Amino acid sequence: MKCQRCGLPNADGAEQCSCGYSLKADETETADWPVPEKKPVPLLQNDKVLGVAMIGAGVLTLIITYSLASPGGIYLFPTGLILAGLFKVSFDSDRD
């Protein structure tokens, strides 16, 4: 009988493989086999959240500097920040 987890051959009457997998028909897992835990990704390492924050900061900078500029004056348009934020939102690389 082959182990379903590791593929090692086992005796026909064996109850458990040497890797720890239970070969019993009614039992699929053993307590000896560790279950990998999924670690949460910190909020600012999530590319979509960071991208939205970058877009928001860019738009906020635009609004504040435009409202403070005199008529015909100079204001900031943070194109790079807004485009970088759009890039992060569009090409989100989730770490699953």
Q: What is the DSSP string of 51-71?
A: HHHHHHHHHHHHHHHHHHSPT
Residue 42 has pLDDT above 70, yes or no: no
What is the per-residue pLDDT for 32?
60
Task: Please state the pTM of the whole predicted model.
Answer: 0.50
Q: What is the mean pLDDT of the chain?
A: 80
Pair 48, 89: CB distance under 8 Å: yes
Rounded Cα distance between 55 and 84, Å, is 8
Residue 43 has pLDDT above 70, yes or no: no
For the chain, what percentages of helix, strand and coil (3-state, to nearest 5) are there?
40, 5, 55
CA 43 to chain centre: 10
What is the per-residue pLDDT for 47?
79
Residues paired with 2 in a beta bridge: 9
Give the tokens for residue 14.
Answer: 């064996």
Pair 23, 10: CB distance under 8 Å: yes
What tens digit of pLDDT does each residue of 68-80 get?
Answer: 998 888 999 999 9
